[in-house]
Amino acid sequence: MKLLKLFLHFAFALICFMPLCTFVLAKSEPQVRQLKVIQGQDSQQRINDYFHQILAEALAHSPSNIQYTLEPVDFEFSQNRTLKLLNFKDILDITYSMTSHERERDFIAIKVPLLDGMFGKRMLLVTAENKSKFEQIDLPSLKKLVACQGLHWPDYSRLKQNGYSVYGVTDFEANFKMLAKGRCDYFPRGIAEIDMDFDKYNNKFGELAIVPNIILVYHAPIYFFVGKHQQALADDVEKGLLILQKSGRLKQALIDTDAFNYVPSYEKTANIKVFSLD
């Protein structure tokens, strides 16, 4: 019996020095993973930094055993082409975008709204000489005029499907150039970004004005997206975002940031004409 006990004691001690024991101990050590994110254009840098801040906070709050760091990578592509990079390994891991049926089909959407629906509330940027005309306009007349919009933005299809005339461009700044040239009559911009756009582009290609009494409203949440092969990452981001949402941190971050002008209920302001899109 003594020999048996001695043998069992020796066998147990031996196991603790085997690779299996080392593996079990290593599992408790946090893994480190670098995520490739878009560097972003200089004109959108504050916005880009805001989303990366939220992403970093969400990952820090996620109960995952992985420590994530963000690595900005420069892509000079359109929004649509950049999104397609998500489904290639080690090119782009995660990015943010307005959602659409096609994007939710082609990628994994992490369905925690990041901007409280503000991108679905759009005011009109017009040339200064046309401001008074737009202030008096009704919906049928507005639909006969032409909106400038990014050709691959979900807004482009949304406006077209709702009977609006739309002129599509592939470069963001081209919206302002086409507006100045009369190729389009107005440029719908989110209420959180229109003031910054006005400050930056007024008198660059022509004198601009914001129509103060019209707003287009539709469902257009901004989500983080990852590739189809990144379900584990999507789960980690979602868990962290839900923690930030429940604690009120997501809304407070919107209030505090200078990347957007947070206007949660502008469409309820008196004398505002609200044109709702399906």
Q: Say if 2 falls within a structural domain.
A: no
**Are both 60 and 193 inside the same structural domain?**
no
Q: Say if 242 falls within a structural domain.
A: yes
Q: Say if 80 falls within a structural domain.
A: yes
Is the confidence at residue 22, as pLDDT, over 70?
no
Tens of pLDDT, residue by residue over 66-123, are 999 999 998 777 777 889 999 999 899 999 998 988 999 999 999 999 998 888 899 9
**Are both 36 and 82 inside the same structural domain?**
yes
Full-model pTM = 0.78
Number of domains in the chain: 2
Q: Say if 175 falls within a structural domain.
A: yes
Residue among 44, 53, 38, 76 nearest 197 (CA):
44
CA 226 to chain centre: 12
> Which residues span the domain enclosing 231?
32-116+222-247
- CATH number (domain holding residue 63): 3.40.190.10
**Are both 186 and 228 inside the same structural domain?**
no
Q: What are the φ and ψ backbone dihedral angles of 210, each rounded to 5 degrees?
A: -105, 130
**Are both 48 and 184 inside the same structural domain?**
no
**Are both 140 and 124 inside the same structural domain?**
yes
At which residue do the structure tokens 């901004």 appear? 222
Q: Say if 133 falls within a structural domain.
A: yes
| pLDDT of 120 | 87
**Are both 95 and 122 inside the same structural domain?**
no
**Are both 107 and 241 inside the same structural domain?**
yes
Q: Find all residues with CB under 8 Å of 262, minimum gap 6, and list them.
A: 116, 118, 192, 254, 255
**Are both 122 and 211 inside the same structural domain?**
yes
